[in-house]
């Protein structure tokens, strides 16, 4: 097995039992009981950005669906349960990803300190942990209506396939987008009991947004991925990445704008429509700012701009919620 040079930061993290690319002051390493830390690291609890990126499309779906027919008390449970479900399913998905990628992770300095390749957790222990997280997530899902439950079960196929996508396609980020944004459709269905065209447009906007931010993320591992033979849009686009990011940005804004128009034009409330579209503009503006700061050849810049997408997504969610409140 080929081993790539280890950075001093990665070596130090592995000795301490930490994960090399986790924030230095994360709550898991500071406060969690020592015996729980390897499992929480396996779930990426030390890096909450993934939970946010899984939750945000759910918030979009709840807010825009509520803008059509108003907020209900049930929506408070949807927000809370989607937050818990995002944490649990992101954890289960990351555990599954680390099980399937353990040989790849052992070859890359940034990921060699993860719990399985570093020996903190066995594959069998990881499988049990994944099942525990998925089981609790299922309890939440079963509190929803029948359509939402069916959609939640259907999403498992996407979760299962995603870790293998990098082996057979240059577009694994597309598979991540299909899985990570399913919550927009599921949450809409949980609120309204249906999946109208506006929900599908919102889902499509989330997919192109994921292509945007995860291509940025993938540029951190571009060289190691080439040596290992792992495919990604970062490797596929290469020096043309900037143009592709602009395309994904425009597509995201256009599709989210379409979702707003499909949802709110029939209501003929100009103020509600203006507020929601202002959120789409602010979301796009944030993505433009990311591109202005981004240096795809600097891993630190890629990680910073990837993480900033939490704020971008929350801006859109806030404006959609404001439109629903009107």
What six digits make up the tokens of 214?
């995860």
CA distance 262 to 100: 40
Range of lowest pLDDT (3-7, 31-35, 43-47, 275-279): 3-7
Query: To the nearest whole number, what is the mean pLDDT of the chain?
Result: 91
Does 29 fall in a domain?
no
Query: What is the number of structural domains in the chain?
Result: 1
What six digits make up the tokens of 217?
């993320």
Amino acid 210: pLDDT: 98
Does 28 fall in a domain?
no
Amino acid 13: pLDDT: 47
pLDDT in tens, 93-139: 999 999 998 887 777 777 788 888 988 999 999 999 999 999 999 99
DSSP code at position 113:
T
Contact (CB, 8 A) for 90 and 49? no
Does 16 fall in a domain?
no
Contact (CB, 8 A) for 45 and 91? yes
Q: Is 115 helix (H, G, I), strand (E, B) or coil?
A: coil
- Find the domain containing 76 and state its range: 38-325
pLDDT category, 49, cuts 50, 70, 90? very high
Does 30 fall in a domain?
no
Radius of gyration of the chain (CA): 20
pLDDT in tens, 152-193: 999 999 999 998 999 999 999 999 999 999 999 999 999 999
Does 6 fall in a domain?
no
pLDDT in tens, 267-325: 778 899 999 999 999 999 999 999 999 999 999 999 999 999 999 999 999 999 999 99
Sign of the torsion formed by the C-alpha atoms of 61, 67, 68 and 74: positive
pTM score: 0.90
Which domain CATH number covers 50?
Answer: 1.10.357.140
Contact (CB, 8 A) for 121 and 106? no
CA distance 37 to 28: 6
């Amino acid at each position: 097995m080929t081993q790539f040079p280890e950075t001093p930061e990665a070596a130090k993290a592995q000795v301490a039992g930490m994960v090399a690319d986790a924030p230095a002051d994360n709550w898991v390493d500071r406060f969690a009981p020592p015996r729980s830390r390897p499992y929480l690291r396996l779930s990426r609890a030390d890096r909450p950005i993934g939970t946010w990126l899984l939750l945000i499309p759910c918030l979009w779906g709840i807010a825009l669906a509520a803008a059509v027919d108003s907020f209900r008390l049930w929506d408070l449970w949807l927000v809370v349960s989607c937050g818990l479900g995002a944490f649990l399913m992101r954890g289960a998905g990351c555990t599954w990803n680390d099980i399937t990628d353990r040989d790849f992770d052992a070859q890359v300095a940034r990921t060699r300190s993860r719990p399985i390749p570093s020996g903190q957790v066995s594959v069998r222990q990881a499988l049990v942990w994944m099942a525990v997280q998925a089981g609790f997530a299922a309890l939440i899902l079963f509190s929803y209506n029948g359509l939402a439950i069916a959609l939640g079960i259907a999403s498992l196929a996407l979760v299962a396939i995603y870790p293998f996508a990098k082996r057979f396609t240059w577009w694994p980020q597309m598979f991540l987008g299909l899985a990570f944004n399913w919550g927009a459709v599921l949450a809409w269905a949980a609120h309204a009991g249906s999946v109208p065209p506006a929900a599908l447009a919102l889902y499509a906007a989330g997919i192109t947004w994921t292509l945007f931010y995860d291509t940025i993320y993938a540029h951190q591992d571009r060289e190691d991925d080439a040596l290992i033979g792992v495919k990604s849009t970062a490797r596929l686009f290469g020096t043309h990445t900037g143009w592709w990011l602009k395309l994904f940005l425009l597509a995201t804004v256009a599709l989210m704008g379409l979702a707003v128009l499909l949802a709110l034009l029939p209501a003929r409330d100009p103020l509600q429509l203006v507020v929601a579209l202002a959120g789409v503009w602010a979301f796009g503006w944030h993505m433009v700012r990311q591109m202005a700061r981004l240096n795809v050849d600097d891993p630190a810049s890629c990680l910073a701009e990837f993480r900033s997408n939490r704020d971008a997504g929350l801006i859109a969610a806030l404006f959609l919620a404001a439109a629903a409140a009107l």
